[in-house]
Amino acid sequence: MPKLRNSLTFCLSLLLALTVAATYFALMQDWWMLGIALIGWAKAIDLVRILFKRNARKVAFMFDAIDNADHTFRYAESERSSNDKLVNRSLNRIIQILFQAQADTIQKEKYYELILNSVNTGIIVLDDNGYIFQSNNEALRLLGLSVFTHVKQLRRLGEGLEDFFTHIRPGDRHQISFNNERGTIHLSARASEMTLRNKHVRILAINDINSELDDKEIDSWTRLTRVLTHEIMNTVTPITSLSDTLLSLHGNADKEIRNGLETISSTGKSLISFVESYRKFTHIPTPEPTLFYVHRLAERMLQLAANQKDYPHITFAANIQPEDLIVYADESLINQVVLNLLKNAMQAIGNERTDGRIELRACCNEQEAVIIEISNNGPSIPPEDAEHIFIPFFTTKESGSGVGLSISRQIMHLSGGSITLKNTPTTRETTFVLTFP
């Protein structure tokens, strides 16, 4: 009988039988038996209520376990009542299905997060109040942030950057620039919108267009230089050749005429030599990359720089971490870049300081890019000059050609890397940064 009392099916059957019996006794006007039937009917109703209440508590406990992520919660399936066994087994299956769905959702979120962190486009999801729902690694790298929770954090990065992210609207595509320790950053951003968890959000896709701008700038300067050198060479070469011919034919000419021809010839040759130095900017050989150790490059280049007798008061140091750091690039071309930067550093220090110091540092950053920094404690480059130092033919030296840093930038560009200036006037240190992705 206890087994039957635990059976909801039995209770419902008993309730139905008592209802029929009570109806029959009422029709027969057998009030004594009708009273007994009604008492039994009330007991059956109470038993059904108890069973429903107990099962309702089971369902409530089940949802509490799901809310608390209690994956070990299970109902016993060894009940004596077959009905309870069926209820417990069904509830356990519901728990298993819900937990599996939750696990699948978490796995999909991790999968999509992995995809977002693998793309070269920065993704930022923010609401209309400026709170950040999600940002991938590329977005944090472009902005120079380790954690990004609200657009107010952008105030310290650059003027107008917060307003830019706050007011860009879906369908808009704009560009903005700001300065950080890596130099001037040029970003392109486009926005779209959607509803996420009943809240309107904007999705911003940001890209670093520094390389794109560098490509266009280098290409423009290369084309211009080729045209200029071609026209200058075509004009000057005949003049030089003609003046040499006249000098050979009229060696006994009037002294004044001879001096004039010699001046024309020497000036023309100097101009040709000058133009030849510019030609190097447009005739950099195609890189042939190989793997080489950075510490060997540093030792060799610093040894060459230290042997310069004009700067005996300058000390040189190298800090390579780790010691077996390697780079995949054209070693001979990178030698040229490093040697040019070391030469510029020595000239910047000059003979004014007796405590001149040049340091070459190298490491690998979080994105597994190799970073080589060449620093000197000479006078800082003025901000108005820092903006133009990589432009061909721009120089602050009296005898400079203005192509050294331009060639270095083009070599780094052809090598798939970049060169930037990290100028810190407050610490009186100038640092050029070579980045090899």
Q: What is the CATH number of the domain that holds 142?
A: 3.30.450.20
Q: Is residue 113 domain-resident?
A: no
Pull the structure tokens for residue 84.
Answer: 């309870």
Give the distance from CA 70 to its chain's centroid. 37
Q: Choose one of 208, 236, 267: the last residue of a domain.
A: 208
Count of H-run helices and E-run strands, the chain: 12, 12
Asked if 344 and 264 sit in the same domain, the reply is no
**What is residue 280's predicted lDDT score, i.e. its pLDDT?**
57
Q: What long-range pairs does 258-261 form, CB within 8 A, spacing at least 24?
A: none
Rounded to an integer, what distance in angstroms lies between the CA atom of residue 349 and that of residue 111? 52
What are φ and ψ of residue 290, in 5° steps? -145, 170
Q: Which domain holds residue 165?
A: 120-208
Q: Is residue 62 domain-resident?
A: yes
Q: Is residue 115 domain-resident?
A: no
Q: How many C-beta neighbours within 10 Å does residue 85 have?
A: 15
**What is residue 5's predicted lDDT score, i.e. its pLDDT?**
42
Pull the structure tokens for residue 182.
Answer: 């890596």
- Residues facing 327 on adjacent strands: 292
Q: Is residue 145 domain-resident?
A: yes
- Residues facing 197 on adjacent strands: none
Q: Is residue 37 domain-resident?
A: yes
Q: Is the peptide bond before 322 cis (omega within 30 degrees of 0)?
A: yes
**What is residue 3's predicted lDDT score, i.e. its pLDDT?**
43
Rounded to an integer, what distance in angstroms lies between the CA atom of residue 322 and that of residue 303? 20
Give the CA count within 13 Å in the CB-facing half-sphere of 267.
11
Pull the structure tokens for residue 81.
Answer: 């009542």
Pull the structure tokens for residue 69.
Answer: 């992520």
Give the distance from CA 123 to its chain's centroid. 10
Q: Which residues does the chain have with pLDDT short of 70?
A: 1-12, 14-15, 18, 71, 78-84, 179-184, 209-239, 242, 246-247, 249-258, 260-261, 268-284, 309, 351-354, 392-403, 423-427
Q: Choose one of 208, 240, 268: the last residue of a domain.
A: 208
Rounded to an integer, what distance in angstroms lies between the CA atom of residue 424 and that of residue 317? 20
Asked if 124 and 179 sit in the same domain, the reply is yes
Asked if 12 and 43 sit in the same domain, the reply is yes
Rounded to an integer, what distance in angstroms lies between the CA atom of residue 52 and that of residue 58? 10
Asked if 426 and 302 sit in the same domain, the reply is yes
Asked if 304 and 411 sit in the same domain, the reply is yes
**What is residue 390's predicted lDDT score, i.e. its pLDDT?**
74
**What is residue 122's predicted lDDT score, i.e. its pLDDT?**
86
Tell me which DSSP letter residue 284 carries.
Answer: P
Q: Is residue 272 domain-resident?
A: yes
Pull the structure tokens for residue 366.
Answer: 């979080």
Asked if 344 and 425 sit in the same domain, the reply is yes
Instruction: Name the domain count of the chain.
Output: 4
**What is residue 38's predicted lDDT score, i.e. its pLDDT?**
75
Sorted by sequence, the CB contacts under 8 Å of residue 181 that are 6+ apart come out as: 144, 422
Give the distance from CA 244 to its chain's centroid. 60
Asked if 239 and 321 sit in the same domain, the reply is no
